[in-house]
Amino acid sequence: MTTRDEAAREAAALSEQLHKHAHLYYVLDAPALPDAEYDKLFQRLQALEAEYPELRTPDSPTQRVGGKVLDGFTKVRHKVPMLSIRTETDITPGGASAFDARVRKELGLAEDGPQVEYVCELKFDGLAMNLRYENGVLVQAATRGDGEVGEEVTQNIRTVREIPLKLNGKAPPVVEVRGEVYMKRADFDALNERQREKIAAGQKNEKVFVNPRNAAAGAVRQLDPAIVAARPLSFFAYGLGEVTPASEGGPDCPTQFDWLQQFHAWGFPVATQTARAKGAIELIAFHENIGRQRDALPYDIDGVVYKVDSVELQRQLGFVSREPRWAVAHKYPAQEQLTEVLGIEIQVGRTGKLTPVAKLAPVFVGGVTVTNATLHNEDEARRKDVRVGDTVIVRRAGDVIPEVVGVVPESLAKPDDQRGPVVTMPHQCPVCGSVAVREEAEVDYRCTDGLFCAAQRKEAILHFAARRAVDVDGLGDKLVEQLVDANLIRTLPDLYKLGFTTLAGLDRMAEKSAMNLVDALEASKKTTLPRFLFGLGIRHVGESTAKDLAKHFGKLDAIMDATEEHLLEVNDVGPVVAQSLRTFFDQPHNREVVEQLRACGLTWEEGEPAARAPKPLAGLTFVITGTLPTLGRDEAKDKLEAAGAKVAGSVSKKTHYLVAGEEAGSKLDKARELGVAVIDEARMLEILENGVTE
């Protein structure tokens, strides 16, 4: 069983990975992780948070949909949040059966009770869109964004011919139709052929697109609608946002299937494969039938979606966290092929992660020719026992980074002296030579010199210049890439040595834009200690931790010189964060960057350390289990930690008190077995008020 501390470390690492890949997928349209791997990480984090609810933080990836609003578009707050649905990664028939069983349980249906009716739809691989119509006329189109706030892209969406500008027939005062903007495979191939012709003709800044999803998403986010009009986008309707109630003139659609028929009547395309199904057996049949058709479809899908058909039952089932209980996405197996491993190299990512990568004999899989595949990490490479010369199964899941699934039995059967060496990660970064470390309870090795390593340079600059850091307005991905590739920036202080003449001489940089950036760099010099600290990109140090550190120590020098023991005194700073801070500031290169930034004129207000409140429960460890009468677990945990207590996730000999509510379960048995004091909520509140009196 995972201890609370182990779970906390793993959850923190998972959160960081998921945030990073959500940013790549939703914001940059440059996914770097197969969907199957993302789902695995997400489900592992969900499992940890289910076991230890106190780890479920407001900024956890499980509490939000993902993505954020891009600069350049007007923000739109969705009247009805655009929530994502749960992904069932069990690709066997059991995935459909499990969903049906959960629905029946939530509805309180007996095993011999009536079957639940569902609507089965395709899971398109495109960009989710919310279309708002008032009195039948399209007035606004917005992307999902973070689920609450999206980007207005109305002018771009008007160029998509499959989306009606005016609804057919009688329309309600207000209705929001939701669906997927996508690109058909034939249209995508034709677009790429035109791109290749442009490149051959010497046109700069043109590129061949990776897949239809990226091409569609990138088109919608173009600031020039004329560019969007030149890209062949399509649309399928499948969902509903805000709508005028039937009592006030809106449609009366008691089922999801009725809504789909209404969308079609209004003039929207609805996938013809959509079907109704009763119970798990018919869900399974739909999944298998579409799976057989998948390669022949004119567009990409990566699964199907099941929804409870009755709108009333949907209301009864409601939502859990970020997902509706009445819907699920059921995926298909990723495509796989066999090839040979020609070599294994260690690559350093933009965040310093060292990844073993298999160099492959070219193989066509998932629609492209693959020559590289990730081995993820040393443990995974050794678990699969991948070596040079092996014949391996390569999977291209999520249409992004191929992975080695495993080695064929014939290769594994060879004697060790006839196979290559076992994968071993280096203890020095192969790019900059700095120390590479593997933190406790983590699977990845990382370069420790984030401000010095060339592989991390672009990421470090973008992070430092971000809005929530020192905020250099106008310094985006493409400009940073150009500055780094031209060797104009090697470290962060080089930013403040850029002059107007240098900037104005860059490609696609007008004089006004150059002056604006010079002004933005100057303005960014006056910042705050938390922003500066966060901008340094220290592993595990987010905005909240940076604020806590600044408040606790008051001055940057005090933070840089603090021992791990002193760092652990800061609110929410545990051993992993303390070690990360010490590792960062123990690197001479990193301290030199800080001093150079100060010399460039970056300033912030500093003060005295915050007064330390008394901690009457310091040194005591509590565990909370079951349902308390008046307090939620998080609330109880906050109260105890504010008084200095440690709240653990499991009972051990070091536990002083178990706070037990209803349905306490195995933790109560464990406490009694170990002789741990068991108290109720009332006694806990008494201890909080008066301290320990016995």
Is 396 in contact with 332 (CB distance < 8 Å)?
A: no
Is 148 in contact with 78 (CB distance < 8 Å)?
A: yes
| Cα gap 180→465, rounded to integer Å | 33
Q: Taking the alpha carbons of 516, 517, 520, 522 in that order, is the dihedral positive or negative?
A: negative
DSSP state of 224: -
* Residue (of 154, 167, 299, 309) closest to 235 by Cα position: 299
| Cα gap 244→484, rounded to integer Å | 52
Residue 123 annotated among the catalytic residues of the structure:
yes
| Cα gap 438→269, rounded to integer Å | 51
Q: And the tokens for 19? A: 């945030």
Pairs from 540-544 (Cβ < 8 Å, separation ≥ 24): 540/12, 540/16, 540/576, 540/577, 540/580, 541/577, 541/580, 541/581, 542/59, 543/468, 544/59, 544/572
Is 238 in contact with 185 (CB distance < 8 Å)?
A: no
| Cα gap 360→372, rounded to integer Å | 6
Q: Taking the alpha carbons of 213, 217, 218, 219 in that order, is the dihedral positive or negative?
A: positive
Q: And the tokens for 147? A: 């689920």
Given the residues 123, 331, 637, 646, select the one marked as catalytic: 123
DSSP state of 380: H
Q: Report the alpha-carbon angle 442-443-446, nearest 5.
A: 85
| CA distance readout (Å), 218 to 144, 221, 224, 607 | 14, 5, 12, 46
* Residue (of 666, 619, 559, 573) closest to 8 by Cα position: 573
H or E, element range at 302: strand 301-308
H or E, element range at 343: strand 335-348
| Cα gap 268→168, rounded to integer Å | 9
Strand 117-124 vs strand 275-278: parallel, antiparallel, or unpaired? antiparallel
Phi-psi region of 487 (alpha: psi -120 to 50; beta: other; left: phi over 0): left
| Cα gap 253→255, rounded to integer Å | 6
| Cα gap 412→410, rounded to integer Å | 6
Is 270 in contact with 260 (CB distance < 8 Å)?
A: yes
| Cα gap 118→102, rounded to integer Å | 13
The residues that are catalytic are 123
